[in-house]
Structure 1
Amino acid sequence: MKLAVIGTGYVGLVSGVCFSDLGNEVVCVDKMSNKIEMLNRGEVPIYEPGLKELIKKNKDVGRLHFTTDLLGAVQQADIVFIAVGTPSLPDGQADLSYIEQAAEEIGKSLNGFKIIVTKSTVPVGTNEKIQEKIAMQSLFPFEIASVPEFLREGTAVQDTLLPDRIIIGTSSEMARKRLIELHKPLTDNIVVTDVRSAEMIKYASNAFLATKISFINEIANICEKVGADVDQVAFGMGQDKRIGSSFLKAGIGYGGSCFPKDTQALIQIAGQMDYDFKLLKSVVEVNRDQRFNVIKKLESILNHLQGKTIAVWGLAFKPETDDVRDAPAIEIISSLLERGAKVKAYDPIATDNFTRHFNMDGVEYCDKAHEAASDADALCILTEWKEFKDISPAIIESWLKRPNLIDGRNIYSEAELAGTELNYYSVGRPAMNKGVKERSPILLP
């Protein structure tokens, strides 16, 4: 098929590239000429494993093109995907200005029948507004559909080519048939719904996964009080097929471009319908508070942070991406600076992106992990990069001025810590922690 993909962010770029790899002719469109020039040179504006190789492969065989010409891309396409950003407004609502602008320009560009598909995450009812905007600009026939994405940064190519399921929301029989045909090479698990249900499925899925993360972090905090091990608790819970083991990894909370934005948007959607989504509000609150446990543990070890040198490993919100949007490192480093600490930070990939978006005086950005840890009063691990896992705790101890390690992602085992004198603090594993104990007495009736 001939496809046009409007927007070359994570969703649009990965989707367009993968569709071309299935044999479709794809044109990816973006208004940012510097990004299009970069892509045409074979460079990739985001860090995503496997993406650069797929771009080269499909550009070389002529199936993949990049342009700023939206009109030309739409007019040659059978199906047009909208994959522009829907960032959060200050009140948590999704900003639909890019969606509305794209719909208006698509309407002006129509030259015949098209299927218009929204991949962006949008509030319930948005596709109906898109339909209205396009219809105001064109007399040509078209159909709309919602096909939400479920990509994880760092594994986005794999998630696109090997999806758990495809959700297609449409009231058009023609759109249903064409979109099933397009996605059939990816999976047989294709679920067709009405448009509003498809829009809600995306928000509900992300909100539920965020809830699992906040839940296991609350359990971890209780484990530290009562002397249980959250890793063992999570493993035991995950054996229950009704619960499952995914997203039960305790740590310092979620970040990134999806969970924070989508949970807040769903709270706003509920509020607009006069419904108080108490559970999801608590999920957001727990996630925000969880990252500050790092600060509390540092203060319990060092008494105060004024004048102390704190090393930070990990600026991206998760490994295998350079995305720093709502990364725990942002608030943790800000809090350290507010308390008078000097921060030495290192990330294998995300440092440039972090410094581009955040101007934090008092932070020394290092080129190597050992440079950040050298002569520090404590080290905080905020992202579970494999590079960090491969460094022995004994080596870390030799680099530090004081043997204090806050493992915010539980990357080290008890065996790996054996023989060290590190004051080690993880999340929800009190038996492994050295130094100040937090276990409370158990009072029986």
Structure 2
Amino acid sequence: MEQQTAFVSPFTARCPSLLRNELSSFRPSVRALRPPSAGAARVSHDKRAIRMSEGRRESAEERLSLRVRREQERELCVLVGVDVTARDAQRRLFSIDESLQELTRLAETAGMRVVSVVTQQLAVPFNSTYIGTGKVVEVRQQMESVGCHTCIFDVELSPAQQRTLEREFGGEARGIKVLDRTALILDIFAQHAATREGQLQVELALYQYRLPRLTRMWTHLERQSGAGGVGLRGPGETQLEVDRRMINSRVNKLKKQLESVRAHRTRARQARKRNVGLPVVALIGYTNSGKSSLLNALSGADALAANALFATLDPTTRRAKLDGLKLSPEVLLTDTVGFVQNLPTQLVAAFRATLEEVVDADMLVHVVDGSEDMQVLKSKMEAVERVVEQIGAGGKPTVVAVNKADLVAAEGVAKVKEAIEGGSTWESVVVSAKTGRDWTSSGL
């Protein structure tokens, strides 16, 4: 009798987690010694210093070896970028190179190591494989040459295209896995979801993404169970139908749970406004623009601030003083999830309860990385504005905070401000979460 395959939650079946934090502290032992003579004390001190120095050197060497081993153990991947000229001429914000640079950072954040990048320019994508036949062969050869089993496309592939590409690259026999940009971002969110609310939201987005891809995920599609009895005996429910029904049931349950979360957040915001009586300012911006660091600098909070994509998933609200702000010198400052170009629609829908912190805010502070190339900065601002419009928060009073000013010369900062304010109604301030340059010296 064929063994039944257990149903696996897509949340628990995600890609490997990020690398664990390594222990790097060196603690020399301390011994109680009787007071020695001056000469003996100097010799003893020198010996202890040598031992401690050797210990630190060995510890550093061990840490370096550990980092090298971990880097070697990272999952290898090949990236594929496609510039579809007919479709992307109006919608594309980033060049193909800029988009692939971001995809590389996303892959590294997910715990993978990029070993090759393949690009192609097309008038229109191919229905079955998205890329041309020749490029399919090239990608497969690249994967085989480096022993790589994962390929990531910088677009959203249809379920049929993923199945076809996996088959063309070697199929299940070689353990081939084809991901698209959406799947990669969803995996990063799954790795970073630390709270129950965040996990529920990510799980819902994962199920909604994987539901139409069930035929790719399971190999037991012909298995059937059940019978209709005398006169009604015939094909039962296929395992695919069972899996789909189970996922739909789980999706409905998650939506109810998140609706409860949404109602709770709404009541909490109303109570906060009623009891505190301060206007709410939401920090928005592209991922890794420094929103959490700025929140910490302005409010004294200890929100997680890391040089990583999507480090913040759950909103954090703190009281802060923004001297010179026309709205109010004292506000409730809310840090929100960072945005990215082509943010998966599943995430936007699943994170509705979280994103409503932006919708209900009295004012938005759009945080940008002032040290970036001007064209990239403008493209990221446009990507953020598209998401803001999508969630219904467009038209709110907005101030642009040019962050990381400590990395830019004074004339460079002036050019950034001029480029942002020129031809727009936005006001901008120059800030640095690292050095403490903030609203007080901005003159806003």
Q: Please, what TM-score do these two structures have when normalized by structure 1? A: 0.35
Q: Please, what TM-score do these two structures have when normalized by structure 2? A: 0.35
